[in-house]
Amino acid sequence: MQIKGLLLGLGWLSAAWAQLADTTDYPIGPLTSSSAKWAVKVCDITDYGAVADGATDAGPAILAAFEACIDGGVVNIPLGTFALETWVTLSGGTAWAINLEGIIVRTGTAGGNMIYIEHSTDFEIYSSRGEGAIQGYGYVFHAEGEYGPRILRLYEVTNFAIHDIALVDSPQFHLTLDTCNQGEVYNMIIRGGNEGGLDGIDVWGFDIWIHDVEVTNKDECVTVKSPANHILVENIYCNWSGGCAMGSLGVDTDISKVEYNNIYTVNSNQMFMFKSNGGNGTVTEVTLQNFIGHENAYTFYIDAYWTEETLAAGDGVLYNSITVSNWKGTCANGATRAPLYVLCPSTQPCTNIIVEDFDIWTESGSTEYYKCADAWGSGYCLKAGSAHTEYGTVTSTVTSAPSGYSATTMPGQLTAGLGLTTSIAIPTVPSSFFPGATPATARVYGS
């Protein structure tokens, strides 16, 4: 699918679009339209031995279909349930796509990645019917206290799109974009179990737009890792999740020009958290705007002493030029966990941190507090000035609700995490992901 013209025509994206690179030099998404790929060649996996019986291993057939369409075309996975017992690595390829009309279910037990796509360009995986899914049956592992394979991983893939599919109950991470460029992820739902280690989307690379996605799990919702620049994340529904984050960050951190916009988070660990412990390098030019949250444990956190991460060599990651604006909603208990918590390295104080229109109130009790340490900037407990030296910790107690904290809710909010001992049902991709926001890209149903 080509989106360059669409993006340039959406005036409401003008502010957010600045975080992506110039599309003249760096077009986002596939360079060849879906229809053009269908016209070149169709490699249906049933022609290569796949059987829609939920038991016959479709791994070899998927690989054979890919090899037949590696120079252009569509690997078609038709309606029906196809088992995946052996994992597939699809290496190379240009101007090709996977159309997932049916459902892939995991039957194999190996670690690694169920579907691994590498060194590819002009690539798309989607469901033309909007009903395609990959079911990882992670509960089989989790019931035994174990992890298994990741569902989908892209490595060094350029000009790509992933959309209109569901990734369900991964034994480990659901979607990883590893050193990828100029890609788009949208109109998706991810449903995972209620424990850590089941990340929704992890991304690092250059010029990637992730939007209109719902994530359920109890770890990362949509998280940017290092190195990364020109990343735009918007219209995200973290529905009983770990919440969005950046990290964990360590040695040689290099992240810049990242924007999160229109993020809705409910019953999650946090609305957004930066995580590091020692290390070095820089996180700079980050905008976190238009966040709505309800009943989250943490809200906005910079934690440069994240003890769940092993202490890395260095004086600490430098957090610079981070803007937090227009946040509203509630936290679970603001007297227990400060909704605004900016804990920077004493050896590398944060600089140019701006917090404005931050209206979060507590669900429990009648007070909350803000906490800042070695953090320079403007707003709330941040310290103004240009010294940028260590100064210790400053706290302030809030005894009345901010006037603007009240916020709307989203449909379909979960009231409990999804199980670790029973199968998670395949959901329908929703039609909205943030209150009042229409998905930026139309569905492909019937195309």
Which residues are catalytically annotated? 219, 294
Only one residue has tokens 């169920």, namely 114
Q: Which of 164, 179, 173, 26 is nearest to 114 (CA)?
A: 173
What is the torsion angle, in degrees rounded to the nearest 10, for the CA atoms of residue 410, residue 415, residue 420 and residue 426?
-40
Alpha-carbon distance 30 to 124, whole Å? 7
Alpha-carbon distance 281 to 52, whole Å? 50
Q: Which of 269, 224, 218, 230 is nearest to 246 (CA)?
A: 224
> Distance from first CA to last CA of the chain, Å, rounded?
11
Give the number of other CB atoms < 10 A from CB of residue 71.
13
Alpha-carbon distance 210 to 133, whole Å? 19
**3-class SS of residue 172:** coil
**3-class SS of residue 380:** coil
Q: If you ran DSSP here, which 8-state letter would residue 430 be given? A: P
